[in-house]
Structure 1
Amino acid sequence: MSEPVSTFQNPAGTWSQAVYDVIKAQDVRLVPFVPDGGHRGLIERCQADPDMRAVTLTTEEEGVALAAGAWVGGVRSVLLMQSSGVGNCINMLSLLKTCQMPLVTLVTMRGEWGEFNPWQVPMGQATPDVLRAMGVLVQRVDDPELLPGEVDAALRLAYSTYSPVAVLLSQKLLGAKKFGGTK
């Protein structure tokens, strides 16, 4: 039997501009990221801004180190990654807690609502607990209208208390990827 075929429907255009406006207003000037379709609209806006430096990473833990170095140099950053990359950061996250450094990361979630790829499920399900175990404060957003306020609150919390904060962008917010095929 053939499953219905549909394309990834990412409503990023409905929220990426608002999130970009928030990080711009909060004087974020560095945006490290691993390329991700869920963050595409936000990445493109940051790349187009001459006052921001969007840096493509080869792995997510580089972004934690880059954000820490930027903070020491007086620059605010927001790290963009997918939930599958959180596992790559576990050891590096200890730096933030030990040195009392702020970090804001926006994490697009996989492995939950409507997921088609079984490889995404384990890390997607573990992401909130892994982050909390490493001392990261976790906020989760399902509603695109609430996302700009959550990002603003995360930036204020992180930079006022020198804490790492992750905002998890649920698959309901992003839209689920669906690929057809036969089984």
Structure 2
Amino acid sequence: MSSETKTPLWQDQLYESLRRNGVTLFAYVPDAGHATLIEHSAQDPEVISVPLTTEEEGVGLLAGAHLGDKRGVLLMQSSGVGNCINMLSLIAIGRFPFLTIVSMRGDFGEQNPWQFPMGQGARPCLEAMGTHCYRIETASEVVPTSDAATAMAFRSDQSVAILLSQRLIGAKNF
């Protein structure tokens, strides 16, 4: 009888990386690109999983979490970045760490024309607000990028975004 060891999917590895690095608050607007992270956070009794009505609420929530000595992450789609610009501008002034994971639209294989403008504008908008952006194209980049981004955010009090490309998550036809 052979024992098979199943290799975790990159989504599972991303969740494990965040948890290993002390993230205990997951704020999100529901999104198919983040479904696995949302599901894991909702089932994990050691974390708080908070659905939001708009992405900008997550910025304030994570600032409050930091004041309470907690680490959090905001999960959003690239279209949600546009909803957060004013709140993102306050991160540097408030000098608090910020970590977001953005599922990108409007790039590799995109089939919905409405997703292109913000998909192409998300990174420049984040960078204009002082957020360091790290794009992931392949599964092998997930853990090292997550570990580095989490350390940068929480040990150096920086605003950091991990951008999950459509090449990684798969293009949607809606």
Q: TM-score range by the shorter chain?
A: over 0.9
> Counterpart in 1 of 2:109?
114
Aligned to 1:41: 36
Relative contact order: is structure 1 or structure 2 higher (C-alpha 8 Å, sep ≥ 6)? 1
Paired residue secondary structure (1:38) = helix
Structure 2 portions without partners, runs of 5+: 1-7
Structure-2 residue corresponding to 1:25:
20
- 2:58 maps to 63
- Deviations for 1:142-169, whole angstroms, at most 9, x for unmatched residues? 0112111101100100111111100000
1:127 matched residue in structure 2: 122
User: How many pairs align?
Assistant: 167
Written as runs of structure 1 = structure 2, the 5 A alignment for 1:52-91 is 52-91=47-86
What amino acid is the match of 1:32? A
Residue 96 in structure 1 maps to residue 101 in structure 2: no
Shift of 1:23: 1.0
After superposition, the C-alpha distances for 1:12-63 in whole angstroms (9 at most, x for unaligned) are x721110111111111110000000011011101111001011000000000
Amino acid at match of 2:50: V
Write the distance in 2 (CA, Å) between the matches of 1:60 and 1:148: 24
Q: Percent identity?
A: 50
TM-score (norm 1): 0.89
CA distance in 1, matches of 2:165, 2:45: 30
Structure 1's consecutive aligned runs of 4 or more residues displaced over 3 angstroms after TM superposition are: none
Residue 145 of structure 1 aligns to a residue whose secondary structure is: helix
Q: State which of 112, 133, 141 in structure 2 corresponds to 1:146.
A: 141
Q: Which amino acid aligns with 1:14?
A: L
Secondary structure (helix, strand or coil) at the match of 1:50 reads: coil
Which residue of structure 1 aligns with residue 132 of structure 2? 137
- The gaps in structure 1 that reach 5 residues or longer are 1-12
> CA–CA distance in 2 between the matches of 1:34 and 1:73?
22
SS of 1:78's equivalent? strand
* 3-state DSSP of counterpart to 1:177: coil
Match of 1:162 among 146, 157, 163: 157
Structure 2 CA distance, aligned partners of 1:129 and 1:66?
23
Structure 2: distance between partners of 1:175 and 1:53: 28
Report whether the alignment pairs 1:15 with 2:10. yes
